[in-house]
Amino acid sequence: MSNYMDIDDMDSKNRKTQHCEDRIDSGVDSLKEDEYRKIVEDLQKLPKPSECVNTTDTHEPWKLEFTEDGDTYLHLAIIHEAEDYAIQIIKQCQNDSFLNKQNHQRQTALHLAAITEQPHMVERLLKAGCDPRLVDQNGNTALHIACKRGSLACFSVLTQNQTQHLRPILTFPNYCGHTCLHIAAIHNYLSMVEKLVQLGADINAKEQCSGRTSLHLAVDLQNLNLVHTLIALGADVNSLTYGGYTPYHLTFGRQNSEIQRQLHDRTAQELRPMPESESEESDDELLSDEDYMYDDIQFCGR
């Protein structure tokens, strides 16, 4: 590869764009001075892809090289935003399983491109055959990550390319039980919420921990604008959590009375009262016939 980027140039260029918060999600959150140099040294030790180009040997050794974090050449190029280098690797790996290699945090190059907010690289990876359905160790696809970060550019690329996979991705819950819509709602990215619903995301999908919909989450967050947006998009105000609570029930004890007023009139009258708690059942209802058989047991003479 004639355009192989000098490591020192990569070092000086990319340190300027390094953001600690980005690296927390990318698996290189510990990029202190000595650790950053360690990763650069790892990259220096790997054989250059240019050494394998234009040979008759179809086995390219550099594809088998990994750092101690499980990162491939491509992972490192994406992390360090070495664009020219990454592009040349991608060109050599069209529709190759190498593009979908996952590091020790189960991140593909596509995950890292979304984390570092490189939409042009996201597009190249998708067109080259990177699978957008793969999830990292937290169960997140690249689209989940874009929704979490509020990266509209990456979001647009991910939803406009590989559209045959979009429908299942929109229904995927991550390992916290959240879909892309839940994540966008939690982080208050209203334009993403609207776009996801337009793309076919189920506005009434329940997160898997307690069965809350995005509207329930909006009430939990006391986010009036999000409540208005979801209602306008057709959210079901009568949807129940696994415990039998409507979004209106979650307004009790909360400060924003306007949210309560908005939901009161829209909630079915029979669903407005708080559901009875099982703890309110009488002692007689909780006791079985067998319990009454032992009502003569004495303790300490009583």
Residue-level pLDDT, tens digit, the chain, 302 residues = 433 334 344 444 444 444 434 443 444 444 456 655 655 565 555 555 555 444 334 567 888 888 899 999 999 999 999 999 999 999 989 999 999 999 999 999 999 999 999 999 999 999 999 999 999 999 999 999 999 999 999 999 999 987 889 999 999 999 999 999 999 999 999 999 999 999 999 999 999 999 999 999 999 999 999 999 999 999 999 999 999 999 999 999 999 999 999 999 999 999 999 987 644 443 443 344 444 444 555 555 55
Domain residue limits, the chain: 1-131, 203-274
Hey, what CATH topology would domain 1-131 get? Answer: 1.25.40
> 280 with 270: CB under 8 angstroms?
no
Domains 1-131 and 203-274 share a fold: yes
Running DSSP on this structure, what letter comes out for residue 64?
G
H or E stretch at 39 = helix 33-45
Q: Which amino acid is at 193?
A: V
pTM for this entry = 0.76
Running DSSP on this structure, what letter comes out for residue 177?
S
Dist CA 88 CA 40 (whole Å)? 19
Report how many helices (DSSP H) and strands (DSSP E) the chain contains, helices first.
17, 0
> 144 with 183: CB under 8 angstroms?
yes
CATH code reported for the domain at 203-274: 1.25.40.20
